[in-house]
Chain A
Amino acid sequence: DTGVSQDPRHKITKRGQNVTFRCDPISEHNRLYWYRQTLGQGPEFLTYFQNEAQLEKSRLLSDRFSAERPKGSFSTLEIQRTEQGDSAMYLCASSRMWRSYNEQFFGPGTRLTVL
C-alpha cells in the first residue's frame, strides 16, 4: 500500500454513460497525476495538478474528460458519454514536490470497462 487510494477499483458501465473516479493522494503531496493504461501498454500521461491548479493536459484528454482537484486535496476524473475505447486502467499518482527526481507514488488504479 503506497498511501494513494483510488475509488472505485472497478467500474462497468454502458456506452454513453458518465463515470467519475476519485483519487486520494498522500496527504502532504502537492502534485497529483492521472495516467491511463490499456492492456499490454505502458501507462500514458493524462494530466497533472500542482495543488489545485491543473498545469498540463495531454492531447489524449478529449473534451469528454475533465479532472478537478478542489482545495488541492483529492482529485476526480470524469468521463462523459463513455465510449468502448475508454476501457482501460486509470491510475493516479502523487509526489511531494515538482523536481524531476521526486518519485511518484501510484495508487492501485480504477479499471473501467465500457460495454
Chain B
Amino acid sequence: DAKTTQPNSMESNEEEPVHLPCNHSTISGTDYIHWYRQLPSQGPEYVIHGLTSNVNNRMASLAIAEDRKSSTLILHRATLRDAAVYYCIPRGSNTGKLIFGQGTTLQVKP
C-alpha cells in the first residue's frame, strides 16, 4: 500500500480557495488517487478521485502531478461546512478497501 504524507492541519478563511496537498511518492502506476473527507461526528464521504489527469466535480478539483507522486485537492471557495478532516488515499486496482492515514484537519474561519 502506498504511504501518504499530508499536513496535520490547515486554516482557511471563508470564501477563499484552499489547496490541500498530499505526497504519495510510492504510488503504483495503477493506483487511483481518492480523496475523502469526514465532517465532525459523521462517517467519511467521497470527494473526488483521479488517475492521471486533473479532475473537477461539483465539490472540488483534483490536480495530479505529472509524475503522480503528489496531488492537491482544491476547494475553490471554502465554506464553514467544509471544515473537516481530509484524507488522501491511493487505492489499488485489485483491492476494495480504503487505507486511511491521519489526514489534514481543515479549519475554516468566518
Contact = CB atoms under 8 A, between A and B. Distances in A.
> Do A and B share a complex?
yes
Interface of A: 2, 4, 31, 33, 35, 41-45, 48, 50, 55-56, 91, 93, 95, 98-101, 103-109
A99 B96 CA distance: 7
Contacts, number: 68
Interface of B: 30-32, 34, 42-46, 49, 51, 85, 87, 91-103
A30 B93 CA distance: 17
A42 B103 CA distance: 7
A83 to B, nearest CB: 23
B100 A43 contact: yes
A108 B49 contact: no
A50 B95 CA distance: 12
A106 B93 contact: no
Q: Is the interface of B mostly helix, strand, loop or mixed?
A: loop
Contacts of B92: 100
Contacts of B96: 31, 33, 48, 50, 55-56, 95, 98, 100, 104
B32 A100 contact: yes
A109 B91 CA distance: 22
Contacts of B45: 2, 105-106
Contact of A45 (B44, B99, B102): B99
Nearest to A49: B96
A45 B1 CA distance: 13
Contacts of B102: 41-42
B100 A103 contact: no
Given A48-B96, A98-B96, A42 B87 contact: yes
Can you list the 10 inter-chain pairs with the closest CB atoms, starting with the nearest? A106-B43, A42-B100, A103-B46, A45-B97, A100-B93, A100-B91, A101-B32, A43-B100, A106-B44, A100-B32
Contact of B43 (A91, A95, A98): A91
